[in-house]
Amino acid sequence: HPGRGFFSPASFLKIEWACLWWAYFLFLAYAFFMTTMNPHEHLAALSREASLIGSSASLLGWDQEVLLPEGGRTYRGEQLALLARLAHERMAGSAMSDAIAQAEAASAGLDPLGDDAVNLRELRRTHERKRLLPVELVEEEARLQSEGQAVWAKARKASDFDQFAPVLERIVDLLRRKAECYGIPDGGEPWDALAEDYEPGCTAKEVDAVFGPLEVRLRELVAKLTSAEQSPCDAFNRVVFDRSAQETFVRRMAEGIGFDFNRGRLDTSTHPFCSGTHCGDVRLTTRFHDDNILDALGSTLHECGHGIYEQGLRSDAIGLPVGDSISLGIHESQSRMWENQVGRSASFWEWATPLAHDILGDNARSFDAKALFGAANVVAPGYIRVEADEATYNLHIIIRFGLERQMLKGELAVQDLPEAWNARYRELLGIEVKDDAH
């Protein structure tokens, strides 16, 4: 009823003015709050804001692999691209530059290992690297990652590399451009520039110096183990177990080694991974087969290693460098430790066997702890990295490392990748790759 009572134009005008005054008041209060913070507190606030955006993108990425309907994938790429741009602008922008400069000016006398000094040092490093990347490239990468993951899953299911090759070519091209933006170090290569985001200071030459001798020794070890007159029996891995029982079993194993389900969850995906937003929200995924239960268990223990590390980070430092993981190498050391040093040990199976009997039922009760320990330590070269035994796993890594170096340097075309891949699996693991899915 325009013109009468509360709904009159004059009343609306009063409401608009009141809203404007409240907005102005809130702005002044925010500005006052920001000016009362010291430079290091102000820098931390900006870091937390950028982290909030990045963690929101991480949650959308988890949803894409676990729950997203097929029809939502294209729009999800746009959502992730926008968040990537916003996070990039927060971390690379002038406000962060000014905050870092002010914090550096007020850094005299700081303990170099104290929170403020560590945050300042790491944010300066991250800020300088982010500034080297055009925002358009950052958006393109987020969009392409989302698209590529979906195309890969379809191509894998269809066992058709040609479906995936075009998007992989675009990914390789983007990563080369990204490496050029960062700047390839003297005497280095594109891999070095990209690895800096995951393992600071690591170079391809240093990794190659480790992998070269390791490859020789592992091949000798695998040949010795696979030709031995006696070896463990893998009969347990050929038993069919009900899917719900498998899920209950691996969840119980995760709880047993310390993963806190009050601050995390376990779901299924095509490829197991660990994600989440902070130490109070850690998302794991695994995968199941009708048989091969030790693959589900190994994948779960591996991702639990990542998850336990994430849950162990400081809850009072969420969004700050001191509350983040130190490097991908340390992260992977935790996942591999729980998967191999713990999950393949005799003492682990002495604890786990009674639980396997109770949860998995009659089909498991004919296997004692010694048999399950043996089944967990069978060495048999295979096609799939996440299903690999402890002795052959690193050969899968060595193969991937070499091929990605060649692609980034332009020495290997994407279309030639299957042939090169198959040749290396024949050379290092002694197996013939039978189709694209493998």
Q: Which of 84, 86, 82, 95 is nearest to 123 (CA)?
A: 95
* Residue numbers annotated as active site: 303
Give ∠ CA 246-250-254 in degrees, rounded to 5.
165
Buried b (16+ CB within 10 A) or exposed e, 156-190: beeeebebbbebbeebbebbbbbbeebeeeeeebb
Sequence letter at residue 237? N
Helix axes 293-311, 243-257, angle to 10 degrees: 40
Going through 36-169 in order, the beta strands assigned E by DSSP cover none
3-state secondary structure of 90: helix
What would the two tokens of residue 28 be? 């002044």
The answer to whether residues 187 and 204 touch, using CB atoms and an 8 Å cutoff, is no
Phi (first) and psi of residue 133, to 5 degrees: -100, 125
Sheet holding 274-278, edge to edge: 264-268, 281-286, 274-278
Element (H, E) at 44: helix 39-66
Residue 315 CB coordination number (10 Å)? 12
Q: Which residues pair with 266 in a beta bridge?
A: 284
CA distances in angstroms from 261 to 256, 267, 279, 339, listed in the order given: 11, 12, 12, 19
Sequence letter at residue 79? Q
The answer to whether residues 264 and 286 touch, using CB atoms and an 8 Å cutoff, is no
What would the two tokens of residue 100 be? 């870092």
